[in-house]
Amino acid sequence: MKPVCFVMGAGAGIGGTVGRKFAREGYHAVLCRRSDEAGLNALVDIIKDEGGDATGFLMNAVDENAIEDRVAFVEKEIGPIEVVIYNLGAQIGDRVLADTSMRAFEMGWRLATFGLFRLAKTVCPLMEERGGGKILVTSATAAVRGNAGQHSHAAAMGGRRMLCQTLNAEFAPKGIHVAHILVDGAVDAPDTLGKMLGPELFKKLRETKGAEDGLLQPEKMAETYFHIASQHRSVWTHELDLRSYSDVAWWNHV
């Protein structure tokens, strides 16, 4: 029975691509996403065509027990979860405070912060019992600095980063590697950036900035995700950043 790489937020960008990489490396990729069953099935098929194992689930992570039940099912029916890719985002674009509803603010927290807490509560005891595991968390610039219009996103991601540190403090000595991967730039991802921009603009961006490697490429990001998951326990990375060579780092102005 293969170990499982459990991906939350397995769209056609970081999540799905990282899942596919782990499938190639011998994991059973369990791919969860909220919608687009066709896209999910297509990704499962691609992985199987490559000789890998994958199972897809539609899951709305904010539903009561959705995460908890899915983990239980996977552990029982598919295999032990050795790696978690927590890839749920909460970016809703820039909105001034007046346009940020209480509902949107709460939803950001439910997806980005509370979901990771629930996942950790569910999976850490299992990993601890087995002597270890890896939880790789995709993060964003908003986790380290708030910017205008990012009320919901920054509060949610800032809480998430601190949660990663508390999880690391409690669970690293028990063999669970928690890593906070700060994605500082636009990702070449049709399901997130593509939807935010619309097909026209996204196509243009790919042909200009993307053609010069100015967009983070998910398949290249996956190499680093896999490396982090493979680090020997004497040399674990807890935090790292990723950005295109041509992008300005978040702490610099142009």
Alpha-carbon dihedral sign for residues 239, 113, 191, 253: negative
Structure tokens at 224: 């680093």
- Decide whether 72 or 162 has the Cβ nearer to its own copies: 162
DSSP code, position 254: -
- Decide whether 74 or 144 has the Cβ nearer to its own copies: 144
Q: How far is the CB of 14 from its own copies (least distance, A)?
A: 11
Q: How far is the CB of 41 from its own copies (least distance, A)?
A: 28
- Decide whether 38 or 96 has the Cβ nearer to its own copies: 96
- Decide whether 40 or 182 has the Cβ nearer to its own copies: 182
Q: How far is the CB of 213 from its own copies (least distance, A)?
A: 4
Q: How far is the CB of 102 from its own copies (least distance, A)?
A: 7
- Decide whether 74 or 215 has the Cβ nearer to its own copies: 215
Q: Tell me the backbone φ, ψ of residue 89, rounded to 5 degrees.
A: -100, 170
CA 157 to chain CA centroid, Å, is 12
Q: How far is the CB of 138 from its own copies (least distance, A)?
A: 12
32, 73 contact by CB (below 8 A): no
User: Whole-angstrom distance between the N-terminal and C-terminal Cα of the chain?
Assistant: 51
From residue 113, give the alpha-carbon distance in Å to each of 10, 16, 44, 148, 222.
17, 21, 27, 20, 23
Bridge-partner residues for 176, per DSSP?
Answer: 133
> Measured between alpha carbons, how far is 243 from 139 in angstroms, rounded to an integer?
12
